[in-house]
Structure 1
Amino acid sequence: MVDLQRVFLSLFFLSLLLKFSFILGQPLSSSTELSALFDLRSSLGLRSKDWPRKADPCSAWHGVRCQSGRVVGLNLSGLRRTRLGRINPQFSVDALANLTSLSYFNSSGFFLPGPIPDWFGSNLSSLSVLDLRFSSIISSIPSSLGNLPNLTHLYLSNNVLTGTIPETLGQLSTLLVLDLSQNLLTGFIPPSLSSLHNLTLLHLSANFLSGPIPPSLGSLLNLASLHLSDNSLTLSIPNELGNLTLLRDLDLSLNLLSGTLPNELGGLRNLRRIALANNSLTGPLPPNVFSNLQKLQSIVLNHNNFNSALPDVLWFRSELHFLDASYNNLTGTIPNRTSIANASDAIFNLSYNLLYGSLTSQLERFSFIDLSGNYFQGRVPDGTSLNASVNDNCLQNVSNQKSLQDCQSFYAARGLNFNGIGPTHDPTSPPAQGDKNNQHLKFILLGVFGGIVFIALLVLLVALFLCRRRQVGTADQREISANPVPSVGGLPPYGISINFASLGEAFTYRQLLGATKDFGDSNLIKHGHSGDLYRGILEGGIPIVVKRINVNTLKRDAYMKELDLFSSASHSRLVPLLGHCLEHENEKLLVYKFMPNGDLSNALFRKTTQEGDGLQSLDWITRVKIAIGAAEALSYLHHECNPPLVHRDVQASSILLDDKFEVRFGSLSELCIQEGDGHQNVLTRFLRLSQTSEQGLTGPPSTCAYDVYCLGKVLLELVTGKLGMSASNNANTNEWLEYALPYININEKELMTKIVDPSLILDEDLFEEVWAMAIVAKSCLNPKPSKRPLTRYILKALENPLKVVREENSGSARLRTTSSRGSWNAAFFGSIREATILKRSGTAYSQGSLQGGDVSSSHKRLSNEIFPEPAGVRDIERQDGD
């Protein structure tokens, strides 16, 4: 009986063991694969915490998936290396060749510097998913990848891949997703990709691809997403793309496309989003195309040359939530129908076109609409100003409008009636009696007000004159240096002259026309937001850059900001102004010194040959030099100018580089006085009132903290090699910041290996400098503006990078020795601590958080507990609070 019980008990435990083995999965049965996994563990330097040596890989190793005792999947994303593994990380995965049942391999975000092995295409025949995003892979894409018969998903985006796209990828007949975006690929898009008939997603954006879009891509009938943006693609949009009836997302922006929109695009009946911005497309917007695209939710057409009316159907489409057709030549009027834009959350940007006529009261249905830079006349309907921007038009009851002459010329050229700027009644008809009385009252009030203003101005001018004399006397006594700082630094009002003698040579228009070859396209550098930039050579062989400003399309006095700055200030970090030409009323020319190394956006990765066969990365020493130069320029504007000046356009393209890679700050047209500055006298504030109002709600913030935020993105671009990040505030940039910033940790240097630019050659000390600059960048990106460091602290931190990481990590005892609130490292690290707490509490690092609210007191207490403030700092803060 006892034996029978033992038998039943043994069977019971055996059944339980079988059940648990079924639930947990069978142990690894192949000794070859077990040996391969241990080889991989060693070559990648994975921690025993993730892959414990004495445990079964199928049940206990993170990221290892088994089926029937064989390894079918590996996921390295999120795993970390040992200290020795971090010293020399490589793409060392040769052991994968022995995992013959492997169906997916994911190393997204795992640092694998080096090329993809050529044997991937011959030894991993079972592979269906290959995900190597954000892995810092270099070199070219091996053509052998086209030999993977079961591959369905190929993700290689956000790496440093060079060379061309292999033709052999067209052999992947089972492929569903191909993402090669955010790399350095060159050459044409291979027509062989049209053989991928199962493809649903094709992303090739942000590379250096050239040539036309292959018409054969129109045969990919299952395609749902096609992204070819931010390349150098030429010629027209192929008609064949209209065959992609399942397409939902089409992005061809930031290319060199020309021609008209093909009518065949009307066949994209499932299209939700279309982006064609920053090309050279021209001609009309075909109404029949947009009539057929009834599911469109987002349309981006800005910075092209479309020259027709905006199709009426777009005004009435309730599904359309976003439309940007700014900076085109669109004309016509706004239809006046009650059903216009039923979607209350719709955002339209139609600024800087040739639209005209009266504004309709139905504009209040929009969440926001930008109609600036057009030719609308009449009056603004009540309630429109709250959700609309109407600057630079021909309207009557708002400020910041075009001149009467410009408006009259526009309407006369088109044979249209223009009612003028002023009263809306017919000026030839006699006014009514009530109107006469109102006019008399207006004249009386105007005279009284004018007299008061005149007396106030007279008194203030006398006070300013006396104050100026006192300043001059004090300056003489103190022997101020030859490089004065601006006393105002903004736009001088009309009637106050600029010292043009200090602005270099007064060139003639004929001189600059000859220097730039009649402003020919071959001499065009780029279309800047404040004017077109042309390279030129003066008669003496001196290279120059000429900014050509059309005052009809920009604020008429915008160029005066730069002239005012250069007339009152001189600093080695500002781009040298050689002269000007102000002969023509509607066109102004500013002449700058030519910068041989262009700007940072083009110099970070430079072509090494004339044919553009390869790219050479800036070395780390040069990057540090550029970072310090940019910080010096901002420190001058923020701390040496009185009142402080805000650049408002800090990005890689604004950082110009001379022949020795010394920084010269450009793009000075957005420069203004810091918002809310308390040092301005009454007259200065009065004279600057119109300038402040012109900035509107849509311009960049006029605060030094905004410059610091933008500088942080530039520093991060230097650290990571992420091209174009500092120039963009879109969702992709914010998403990348949220991905990258957690890897910047003051307590853990090794995390930086996941985001550092893989093209950099670094020893241990240089890697610490990279780490330090990344910490500086993260402090600049603090979502709370008041917690971002001042630029003078940033400059000192960049000049002493090892002091940043070594002193902060040396313990709280070192911090407690700080006795002054003015200490740069005490103030600097305060912003890092706040950023750490905000990140832990779930606050996102994004442009949308620039004006975020105060952090709660509980967060502040937690911050002090984790990072105790120096005693001296706390004492001074307590005294200030009292």
Structure 2
Amino acid sequence: MGKTPTIPAIILFTVTISYLSPKASPLTPEQEKQTLLQIKNFWRNPTSLQSWEDNNNSSTIAHCNWFGITCSSHGFITNISVPNQNIYGPIPDSLCNLTNLTHINLYNNSISGQFPKSLYNCSNLEYLNLGQNYLVGTIPSDINRISSSLVYLSLEANNFSGDIPPGIGQLPNIQSLILDNNLFNGSFPAELGQLSSLQTLWLAYNPFTPATIPQEFGKFKNLRFLWMTQANLIGNIPDSFSNLSALQQLDLSINNLTGPIPAGIWMLPNLEYLYLYANHLSGEINGTIGALNFVNIDIGINKLTGTIPEDFGKLNSLTSLGIYFNKFSGEIPPSIGLLPSLTSVRFFDNNLTGVLPSEFGKHSKLWEFDVSNNRISGELPAGLCAGGTLTSVVAFNNNLTGRLPDSLDHCVTLDNIQVYNNRLTGDVPSGMWSAMNLTTVMMYDNQLSGTLPEKLPWHISILMIANNRFSGKIPSRAENLLVFDASYNQFSGEIPANLTGISRLQILSLQGNRISRGIPGSISVLRNISILNLSYNQLSGEIPVELGSLPVLKLLDLSANQLTGEIPPAMAELKLPVLNLSSNQLSGEVPAGLQKSFYDDSFIANPDLCSPSTVLNVRECGRKSNGPNHTSVAHILLLVLGGLALLGTVLFTIVLLVIRDSKRRRIVVGLDLAPWKLTSFFQSLDFTAERILKALTDENLIASGGSGQVYKIVLGNRAREIVAVKKIRNGRKLDSRREKEFQAEVQILGTIRHANIVKLIACISNGDSKLLVYEYMHNKSLDRWLHARYRSESNENVRLDWSTRLSIAIGAAKGLRYMHYDCKPPVVHRDVKSSNILLDDEFGAKIADFGLARMLVNAGEPESVSTVAGTFGYMAPGEDEIHVTVNFLILNFTRQLIRC
């Protein structure tokens, strides 16, 4: 985004303009040098221009050696190029007194004010770059008065607004017109099509009034690069684009374009890059593409159907092929695997079937391979890493079988492998663990086997191999490992005595293995652990008191082991949302801090455990016997009662085990069995309330907070068949009036449809519990990215780059603008912060958590707290204030983004 001018700079401009007015006649070289010194003084003598110094002993053309200055052979200044020099203030009128000036480059400074008409006096100007500055206002309607020799004009990343004037289409020799990343909120003129010499046109990232692409844009006979990403485009791609014979790159992504892709685009002879993702285009790709010299094709996130044309195999120059998020069906043509230049394959989220071409990777330096979320069967191509450059294999949610490719055994470049939810078998190639850049391994829900090395690759941060057949011992060295889920495998041995080698772990799940011995006291080094699940193993000994010192632990499950002794009182200090110590051999009294109804099922099937409170499902402590009578009748009675008690205990234990297993799978999170009501905000749903309830298990828990827990629930094999469910339990039933208020406000939020607001899909309720079903955000919250929860200090690649940060800030602002201005009645969030800005798989920002949870949790508070829509005392901004809102948000987010 651009910037706004500073008041001191404007005042300085006003004070000095009188003596910096343009001269009437050409200057001598000495006068040009003095003009430069005046300009330096006008810009407040920036240190970057310290070489601009007048030395009485120097020649009259000494300034030709000053920084950023180029002169002709006669000593006249022709070029001023001082980009990135922290120069402040407007452009002085005296600049064009340098009558031989042909090039001005002030890129990425702090130039302020409006577009200076004084530049019209630079009659020989050919190159003007004012990009990345603080310029505001509109481009003058008479911009065509600027030098007719102008070939290059860049005004990108400023704060220009309004329309792009039609007069800009009268610049006869312009070849590059760079206007992206401004605040243009009007129109772009069809007259641009008159620029017959134009080679580069950038209009991307501007909030134009919704408009179609003019047919006149098909007149750009020399255009090579057209960039109109996120420019509020609607309608069809013009058929006239088939005339753009010189076009090399076409980027119309992230708009609202509809209709088919014109067949003529596939016939453009020089097209190298095509980006059409995030539109609503329809139709099929026809078979006329084989004559092109494509380098990159990216038409993801549309609604294209049909099969992938065999002619793709004729594109011998093709390096990147992306047709993701469409509805393609059928098999991938084998000819694609033979392309000699192909480096990137992205076919994810389609309806593709059949087997993968066996030649993938054998004929090119393949580095990215993603076919996830399809219905592909057969094996992964054996030669994926034959070229020695493969970094990423992503093939999850398919029907793949067989072994992992042998080429992965020596694939030292590999950093990401995600093949979960398939039917893969056999040992994982042991050499794969030698890939030093390996960061992500997600292979759960297969039938893979093998062992893990004692020391995992240094960079690995995510290792998820649950529901396989891995065996051996647990690794003890993985310095940057954050997530380790090895549940339901065949690991044995003991938990490493020294855990310092995996001390950065945030999630450790080893349930359902054969791990024995005790839990080591070194568990205290896991200071970042939030989920610890060691259930269904063979652990023995006492629970170490060190468990009570884990500061951020949110889920602890040690159930179904052979643990003995008392529960350490220190564990009551953890304030755990989820705790399960059931089915062990624990004894003594449950610590007072854990004697709460929230933990009513956390201690069952521990016969020697007791509690003085009746809220827990354990025996009551302190109940004394009256002592036996010394009569034979009494002895017989005691024997009978003892036998009955023993039988009752056995039966009770069996019942508890059944209940425990049921609750583990269905209601371990504290849901009761009262009738549930499902309220849908979409015409049709692919799930029922019962299906959601069954999936609320510990394994699916992804977050906990003061108002409830959040679960990730996979309903199918496609990315959009994943939902996030927020469970809110109030602990008391709402009165009828507050229940109606909640339902009304849920209904309001359920009808909101905006790209920057998380969709509320459904609400499931029964008395004192509510389940809010949202679309799932793959990249979690902005807060987690800013504060290193998803970032390894040794891996800079996972940091948010600046363009992504800016896009997130703008997206959040757009969401708030919609809530304040377009919603009837307006919706007030009341809790905007980075943890409530969620990020989708493309890092698009979406606002979440509108206070519904707080409304339930604080049901006993005053009425004003529970109001979400139309809060008293808050007035939504009017149309003229929208840019203020947007800029304010961007400023605040940017401050936080910079700090992180």
What is the TM-score with the length of structure 2 in the denominator?
A: 0.52
**Aligned residues of 1:719 and 1:773 also touching (Cα < 8 A):** no
* Residue in structure 1 matched with residue 399 of structure 2 by the alignment: 280
Residue of 221, 225, 232 corresponding to 1:100: 221
Separation in 2, partners of 1:48, 1:722: 42
Distance 1:266 1:811 in 2: 55
Is the partner of 1:380 in helix, strand or coil?
Answer: coil
Q: Is the 2:809–2:890 contact (alpha carbons within 8 Å) kept by the matching residues of 1?
A: no
Aligned equivalent of 1:739 = 807
Counterpart code for 2:374: N
> Is the Cα contact below 8 Å between 2:233 and 2:257 reproduced in 1?
yes
Report the Cα distance in structure 2 between the residues aligned to 1:452 and 1:147, rounded to whole angstroms: 75
Shift of 1:313: 0.9
Q: Which has the higher contact order (CA 8 A, sep 6+)?
A: 1
Matched, 1:21 2:102: yes
Q: Describe the shift of the 1:369–1:748 C-alpha distance in structure 2 as closer, same or farther (beyond 3 A).
A: closer
Q: Which residue of 2 aligns with 1:89?
A: 210
Please state how far the C-alpha of 1:271 moved relative to its aligned partner.
1.0
In structure 2, what is the Cα distance between the partners aligned to 1:443 and 1:6?
94
Relative distance call for 1:240 and 1:797 in structure 2 (3 A) is farther
Aligned to 2:877: 809
- Give 1:93 deviation, angstroms: 2.1
Aligned 8 A contact 1:245 1:269 in 2: no
Secondary structure, aligned partner of 2:329:
strand
User: 1:208 is matched with which residue: 318, 327, 350?
Assistant: 327
CA shift digits 1:715-748 (9 cap, x unpaired): 7547599999733117799986852541554899
State the secondary structure of the residue aligned to 2:284.
coil
How far has the Cα of 1:76 moved from its partner? Answer: 4.9
Return the offset for 1:839.
0.8
What is the CA distance between 1:200 and its match in structure 2?
Answer: 1.5
Cα deviations by residue, 1:2-61 (Å, 9 ceiling, x for unpaired): xxx999999979996784236799x99xxxxxxxxxxxxxxxxx9535984654584667
Other-structure match for 2:354: 235
SS at match of 1:264: coil
The aligned counterpart of 1:111 is 232
- In the alignment, the residues of structure 2 paired with residue 650 and residue 498 of structure 1 have an alpha-carbon distance, to the nearest angstrom, of 29
Q: Which amino acid aligns with 2:222?
A: S
Q: How far does residue 166 in structure 1 lie from its aligned partner after superposition?
A: 3.2
C-alpha distance 190-18 of structure 1, shift in aligned 2 (>3 A): farther
1:564-603 per-residue CA deviation (whole Å, 9 max, x = no partner) reads 524257556599xxxxxxxxxxxxxxxxxxx9711599xx
1:208-357 matches, within 5 Å, as: 208-286=327-405, 288-335=406-453, 340-343=455-458, 345=460, 347-357=462-472
> 2:356·2:378 contact (CA, 8 Å) conserved in 1?
yes
- Identify the match of residue 77 of structure 1 among 180, 193, 197: 180
Q: 1:597 is aligned with what amino acid?
A: S
Confirm or deny: 8 A CA contact 2:408 2:429 kept in the other structure: yes
Query: Aligned partners of 1:124, 1:451: CA distance in 2, in Å?
Result: 77
- Show CA shifts across 1:148-181 (max 9, x none): 22222222122222222233233322x2111111
> Amino acid of the residue matched to residue 463 of structure 2?
F
Higher helix proportion (structure 1 or 2): 1
Shift of 1:94: 2.6
1:790 corresponds in structure 2 to 851
- Partner of 2:663 in structure 1? 557
- Partner letter of residue 102 of structure 2? S
- SS of 1:109's equivalent? coil
Distance 1:226 1:107 in 2: 24
Task: Output the CA distance in 1 between the equivalents of 2:566 and 2:77.
Answer: 100
Question: Is the alpha carbon distance of 1:316 and 1:217 closer, same or farther for their aligned partners in structure 2, counting shifts above 3 Å?
Answer: same
In the alignment, what sits opposite 1:688?
none
Displacement of 1:112 in angstroms is 0.9
Decide whether aligned partners of structure 1 residues 790 and 366 sit closer, same or farther in structure 2, where only a CA change above 3 A counts: closer
- For 2:477 and 2:340, locate their aligned partners in 1 and report how far apart those are by CA, in whole Å: 40
> 1:364/1:319 Cα in 2 relative to 1: closer, same or farther (>3 Å)?
closer
Q: How does 1:481-500 map to 2 (within 5 A)?
A: 488=598, 494=604
> What is the Cα deviation at residue 355 of structure 1?
1.5
The Cα shift of 1:66 comes to: 11
Measure, in 2, the Cα distance between the counterparts of 1:786 and 1:490.
35
Partners of 2:668 and 2:397 lie apart in 1 by 26
Q: Any idea what SS the aligned residue of 1:307 has?
A: strand
Distance change in 2, residues 1:50/1:596 (3 Å) = same
Please give the alpha-carbon distance, in whole angstroms, between the structure 1 residues aligned to 2:668 and 2:301: 35
Gaps of 5+ in 1: 29-45, 405-419, 424-441, 465-486, 500-550, 576-594, 602-642, 655-664, 680-707, 753-764, 815-830, 845-851, 854-882
1:395 aligns with 2:515: yes
Deviations 1:84-134 (A, max 9, x none): 88896211423323433222211112111111001101x322222211122
1:375 matches 2:490? yes
Deviation at 1:559, TM superposition (A): 2.7
Cα deviation for residue 366 of structure 1 reads 5.3
SS in 2 for 1:170: helix
Match of 1:769 in 2: 823
- Summarize the Cα distance change of 1:99–1:274 in structure 2 as closer, same or farther, 3 Å threshold: same
Partner in structure 2 of residue 533 of structure 1: none
Residue deviations 1:734-769, cap 9 Å, x none?
A: 9868525415548995xx7xxxxxxxxxxxx99712
- Give the conservation status (yes or no) of the 8 Å contact 2:400–2:424: yes
Structure with the higher fraction of residues in strand conformation: 2
Deviation at 1:261, TM superposition (A): 2.2
Q: Which moved more, 1:262-271 or 1:105-114?
A: 262-271
CA contact (8 A) 1:202 1:227 kept: yes
1:272-326 C-alpha deviation (Å, 9 max, x unpaired):
221112212122224x321242321222222222121221112333342332222
> Counterparts in 2 of 1:151-166, with a 5 A limit?
151-166=271-286
In the TM superposition, what whole-angstrom CA distance separates every residue of 1:404-424 from its partner, at most 9, and x where no partner exists? 7xxxxxxxxxxxxxxx6659x
Residue aligning to 1:838: 892
8 Å contact kept, 1:75–1:107: no
Tell me which residue corresponds to 1:48: 139
Q: Determine if contact 2:756/2:811 at 8 Å carries over to the other structure.
A: no
Provide the residue aligned with 2:16 in structure 1: none
Q: Distance in 1 between matches of 2:144 and 2:871?
A: 39
Q: C-alpha separation between the residues in 1 aligned to 2:266 and 2:338?
A: 20
**Aligned counterparts of 1:345 and 1:247: Cα–Cα separation in 2:** 22
CA 1:155–1:457: 2 relative to 1, 3 Å? closer
Partner-residue secondary structure (3-state), 1:146: helix
Give the letter aligned to residue 810 of structure 2. Answer: P
Distance in 2, Cα, partners of 1:732 & 1:292: 28
Tell me the SS of whatever aligns to 1:330. Answer: strand
Change (3 A) 1:650 1:341: closer
CA distance in 1, matches of 2:27, 2:588: 112
Normalised TM-score (structure 1): 0.53
Identify unmatched segments of 5+ residues in structure 2: 1-24, 32-71, 79-97, 107-118, 121-136, 157-163, 189-206, 520-531, 542-561, 570-583, 606-613, 618-656, 689-704, 717-721, 733-745, 762-773, 781-797, 839-845, 857-863
What amino acid is aligned across from residue 232 of structure 2 in structure 1?
A: F
Change (3 A) 1:598 1:193: same
Amino acid at match of 1:107: M
Report the RMSD for the aligned CA atoms in angstroms: 6.0
Query: 1:491–1:561: 8 Å Cα contact kept in structure 2?
Result: no
1:729 and 2:779 matched: yes
Contact 2:153-2:174 within 8 A present in 1 as well? no
Cα gap change, 1:365 to 1:727, in 2 (>3 Å): closer
Contact persistence 1:206–1:229 (CA under 8 A): yes
What are the within-5 Å matches in structure 2 for residues 448-527 of structure 1? 488=598, 494=604
Letter in 2 for 1:181: G
> How far apart in 2 are the matches of 1:116 and 1:714?
29
Answering whether residue 684 of structure 2 is matched by residue 597 of structure 1, we say: yes
Equivalent position SS for 2:212: coil
